[in-house]
Amino acid sequence: MVKFDRFYLGSLVLGVVNALLAARDTLSAVSVGFVLGVQAFSMALMILLWFLISRRANNAAKWVLTVLTAIGLLVMIPTLPILAAGSALDLIFMAAVTALQVTAVVNLFRADSRAWFARKGIVLGDETIFS
C-alpha cells in the first residue's frame, strides 16, 4: 500500500502544479470562482478516495478510483492532439500525472494489496505490505 500512497499522492501534487501552470489559460476562459470551485471539489474527492482506500481498506473506493482512472484515460485520448499542439510542458505534466495515477491503481491489485483489502487493512504480522 505504500507504493499506492507514493504514486497516488505524487500524482495529486503534480496535478496541483499542472493546474497552477494551466490557470493562465483557464482563467481567461471562465471565472476564477468556478475554476477554484472545480479544483477544490476535485481535490477533495481525490483525497477522500485516497483516505478510504489507504487508511480504511475500502474496496468500493478502490473500484471507484479504478473506474475514474479508466474514464480519465478514455477522455484523455481525444485531447492528446490539443495538448501536443500547445505547450510541451502541459503535455509532459499530463503524461506524468496519468502515469502516476495508473501505476497507483495497478498497485491496488497486487497480491499483497488484495490480501490487505481482504483483511480490511489489519496487518497480521505481515509488514511486507508496507514496503
* pLDDT of 129 higher than 60: no
* CA angle, 16 then 10 then 65, to 5°: 90
Q: Please report where in the chains the cell 495529486 appears, as a residue.
A: 12
Alpha helices in the chain (DSSP H): 2-29, 32-50, 59-85, 88-107, 111-118
Q: pLDDT averaged over the chain?
A: 84
Query: What pLDDT does 84 receive?
Result: 75
pLDDT tens digits for range 11-52: 999 988 888 777 666 666 667 777 788 888 999 999 999 999
Higher pLDDT, 42 or 89: 42
